[in-house]
Structures are given as structure tokens and as C-alpha cells.
Amino acid sequence: MRYRCSIIGMSFLCGLVLWTSCDSSKNQEHAYTEFSKADSLTEIYLALQDTMVQVWNTMIHDDNRKIRTMRNLVHELRVSGYEHPEELDTYETRLEELAKMRYDQTSISDPEIVSAYDFASNSLVTELVAVAESQTQFTYNSTLQKMVESIRSADLRVMNYRAEYDEIASRFNHFIENNEALLEEIHPKPFLQKRPLFQMASE
């Protein structure tokens, strides 16, 4: 009798150990699954962020090159004997101010900042191109011609760059919206901030 009770007791203990082991495995598997999903989401987040930064930097680099070309155009007009040097001084001052007033990835949410920059940039492009083309030497001065073409081309690319940035930023924002609950468990709030779009500034 005592032997049978001992066997029953051992069987119960073995069953308890097996049940506890299975339950622990399930918990570990669940935790691993949750961790893997969060880790995967983080990788997607970082990939989207990197792409967004690359597109932004490409756009700003192109805009910087346009401003630099306009400065070179002013210099070319000066050395070629432009008859109103005081106007060139004004253009140089406006170009310095233009670079300082440009928007960033946060301030594009303010339509006034974007509009003010666009107005200042477009005015300079229009005026400098008109001055360059009015010079008698423009027809044979290949340097002036190339500068004007470069400025015009860069000016036409602006909206394409902005559309490309808005597209990737929108994908980033949708990703945050769809996965915010899980991402909040492993990342601080600033990590999950959505990005403003140029489209918002134009509406």
C-alpha cells in the first residue's frame, strides 16, 4: 500500500514538473515572439528613418548648390563689368539671408516659413537669370549660360524632391500609427514622433 502511494506521489510530481516545464516553455516562446516582432519593427523604423534622412539631405544639398551657383553668377557679372555693381552687392546680401532663413524638417509644418523661403528664392532666381540674359555677352559667354541653366534646372527639381520626401515621410508616419502600441513598450516617446510634410504647409 505504501509502495503504491509512493508511486502515485511520484507520478503526480512528474506530471507537475512536466506541466510547469511546458507552461514555462510557452511563456518563453511568447516572450521570444514578442521580442522578435519588436526587434523587427525597430529595424523597419530605422530603415525608413535612414531613407527619409537621405532624401532630405539630397534635397538640401541640391538647394545649397543652387544658392552657390547664384553666388558664382553674381561674381561672374561683377568681373565682366556689370554697370550696376551696387545691385550685385544687394544680391549677395539677399543670398546670404536666403541660406539662413531656410526651413528644416520641423519648421516645414509652418506654411509661412516655407512660403517666405520660396518667395525669396524664386525672386532671386527670376531676377538674376533676367540680369544675366540681358547682358550682351550672354550669347557667347558659355560660363554665364551654364550657370543660368544650372540654376533653372535646380529650381525645377525642388517640387520633385519635396514630393519624394513627403512620400517617404508619409510611409514613416503610417508605420508609427500602425505599430505605436508595441513600439511604445520599448522606445521613448520622441522615438515615435511623426514628421510634418511639405504637403501640410501648402494646404
Q: Count the neighbouring beta carbons within 10 Å of the beta carbon of residue 75.
A: 13
The sign of the torsion formed by the CA atoms of 113, 114, 116, 117 equals: positive
- In-domain check, residue 32: no
Q: What is the pLDDT of residue 203?
A: 54
- In-domain check, residue 64: yes
- In-domain check, residue 26: no
Could you write out the DSSP letters of every residue in 109-127?
G-HHHHHHHHHHHHHHHHH
What is d(CA 193, CA 126) in angstroms, rounded to the nearest whole number?
A: 38
C-alpha cell read off for 164: 519624394
For each of the chain's 203 residues, which pLDDT tens digit applies?
A: 444 444 444 444 444 444 444 444 444 444 445 557 767 888 898 999 999 999 999 999 999 999 999 999 999 999 988 999 999 999 999 999 999 999 999 999 999 999 999 999 999 999 999 999 999 999 999 999 999 999 999 999 999 999 999 999 999 999 999 988 777 776 666 677 899 999 865 55
What is d(CA 92, CA 75) in angstroms, rounded to the nearest whole number?
A: 9
Q: What is the pLDDT of residue 202?
A: 58
- In-domain check, residue 24: no
Provide the 3-class DSSP secondary structure of residue 79. Answer: helix
What is d(CA 144, CA 77) in angstroms, rounded to the nearest whole number?
A: 8
Q: What is the pLDDT of residue 123?
A: 98
- In-domain check, residue 91: yes
Q: In whole angstroms, how large is the CA radius of gyration of the chain?
A: 31
- In-domain check, residue 30: no
Domain ranges, residue 110: 45-202
- In-domain check, residue 89: yes
Number of domains in the chain: 1
- In-domain check, residue 11: no
C-alpha cell read off for 161: 524632391
